[in-house]
Amino acid sequence: MKDRIAPLVGCILFASSLSLSAQTFTENPPNSGINTFERVDGFPVGGPNPIGLDGIVFNNVTGSSVNPYKIDPVGITITQLTTSAGTFTAYDFCVELFVGPNDSSSYSVTQGLGSLTSNQQVLIAKLFSNTLSSFISTSSTGTRSEAAVIGAAIQLALWEIIEDQVALSNPSLNEGGSNPGDLSILGYSSNYAPEAKDAMELAETYLSQVNGWNDEGGLSYYYADNAVDQNRLWVTTQAIPEPSSALLGLLGMGFLLRRKRD
């Protein structure tokens, strides 16, 4: 069983702890076609408050506010996935709470949302298909802090959907709530990053609307499972061809080029 005692240090810290050199993967059938990954950018929010505690915390698994799980900072990471079909941009999220970050370079990668329940998968698809485009456009045209707020809000909403399964009909960050996965904030002050509070409020807005959204499609999901430490979810705006499909495409291109020469 994974250790649920140690505090969770922010998801973005896991990303930044890895070098930018490509990392290798192990793969499960069906073959994901993903060979390496490289973290290329991060959009964190967070910061210290005067009493030395992290400002965003999850209640522990008993629903108690005692010994809360600290998250600071939190955010989204942009990752490049290199495959036999080329290089693809992925948006990288943590999919487990109460599991600390790691520096592993080996995962089993499968297409889809892993072993999450069908209800969770429906809500996650609705969440990403209605919010990720805002992060992508803002990261290109807005300020980094604006993009970081959106990315952190998506991550927080994702955690709520995954961890607080008893309230999926009306998911909420529910500050100080009694269910595992509910969120609370401690000790805001002028030297604490205001973007963290903005991200909490935006995540709550997403969660209040997510059941009414449709899955707009256009995204592909890859679940990267680490046997011991934090699992990952990579979201791409284009499907990564399986190696057999990529090979057929190359063969077809070669046939057309040969015909053109003839």
Average pLDDT of the residues in 5-11? 42
* Average pLDDT of the chain to the nearest whole number: 75
**Residue 91 to residue 144: CA distance in whole angstroms:** 15
- Residue 6: predicted pLDDT: 36
The domains of the chain are located at 11-261
Angle at alpha carbon of residue 201, lines to 195 and 206, rounded to 5°: 120
Sign for the pseudo-dihedral over CA of 144, 154, 128, 112: positive
- Residue 261: predicted pLDDT: 52
**Residue 29 to residue 108: CA distance in whole angstroms:** 9
**What would the pLDDT profile of 20-48 be if each residue is shown by its tens digit?**
345 667 765 556 677 888 888 999 887 66
**Residue 244 to residue 246: CA distance in whole angstroms:** 5
Indicate the residue type of 241: P
**Residue 131 to residue 34: CA distance in whole angstroms:** 25
CA nearest neighbour of 78 among 15, 162, 35, 150: 15
**What would the pLDDT profile of 38-82 be if each residue is shown by its tens digit?**
888 999 887 665 554 556 777 665 555 556 677 777 889 999 888
**What would the pLDDT profile of 84-93 be if each residue is shown by its tens digit?**
788 999 999 9
- Residue 246: predicted pLDDT: 38
Read off the pTM. 0.81
